[in-house]
């Protein structure tokens, strides 16, 4: 997502500056400034957003811990119903819930209720760093197109670079997310 933001944002800036001034140095400075600002904006925004999500996950864990202390049997019953919803027979769901509650009641109920894995909480710092790296990577092709391509072909080639970069990020997102590449 940060790469796509870099592609679109910086393409918009360099096209806008190109419309006002065809001076390559001016385009470069505007693109570079927007890249630096966008990088930090994306990183801080990502950090705040993910940190908020982490707070929600921690709060859910705390609530679930209290629910287990106060209503253990009710939480076990919830787990049975959850397993049955997944297509497990009542008898097997009871057995599975009993085993799960003995082994890791908090982890199992937290996952069943909220889809949260307590050992895999998200990291705001990692998310910020990923955004901080992705945004300038996305900015590269629009900048290259507007700075290094001869003036006659700048707009067309930069548009081609932008489309190519968006297709690449879509493809790699599909590969990384293990989803179909075509639809």
Predicted local confidence at residue 119, as pLDDT: 77
- Most confident stretch, 4-8, 120-124, 155-159: 155-159
Read off the pLDDT of each residue in 129-142 and give the average, rounded to a whole number.
92
Distance in angstroms between the alpha carbons of the first and the last residue of the chain: 19
At residue 182, does pLDDT exceed 80? no
Residues above pLDDT 70, as percent of the chain? 97
Q: What is the pTM of this model?
A: 0.73
| Tens digits of residue pLDDT in 67-119 | 999 999 999 999 999 999 989 998 999 999 999 899 999 999 999 998 888 77
Q: How many CA atoms lie within 13 A of 104 on its CB side?
A: 8
8 Å CB contact between 100 and 108: yes
Q: Residue 163: what pLDDT?
A: 94
Q: How confident is the model at residue 22 (pLDDT cuts 50, 70, 90)?
A: confident
DSSP code for 181: S
Block residue for tokens 């800036």: 13
């Amino acid at each position: 997502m940060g790469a796509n933001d870099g592609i679109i944002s910086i393409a918009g800036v360099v096209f806008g500056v190109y419309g006002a001034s065809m001076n390559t140095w001016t385009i470069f400075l505007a693109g570079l400034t927007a890249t630096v600002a966008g990088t930090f904006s994306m990183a801080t925004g990502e950090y705040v957003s993910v940190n908020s999500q982490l707070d929600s996950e921690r709060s859910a864990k705390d609530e679930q811990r209290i629910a287990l202390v106060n209503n253990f049997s009710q939480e076990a019953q919830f787990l049975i119903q959850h397993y049955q919803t997944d297509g497990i027979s009542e008898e097997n769901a009871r057995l599975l819930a009993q085993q799960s509650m003995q082994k890791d009641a908090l982890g199992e109920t937290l996952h069943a209720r909220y889809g949260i894995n307590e050992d895999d909480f998200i990291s705001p710092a990692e998310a910020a760093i990923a955004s901080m790296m992705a945004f300038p990577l996305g900015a590269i092709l629009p900048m290259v197109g507007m700075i290094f391509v001869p003036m006659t072909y700048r707009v067309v080639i930069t548009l081609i670079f932008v489309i190519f970069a968006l297709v690449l990020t879509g493809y790699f997102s599909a590969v990384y997310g293990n989803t179909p590449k075509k639809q």
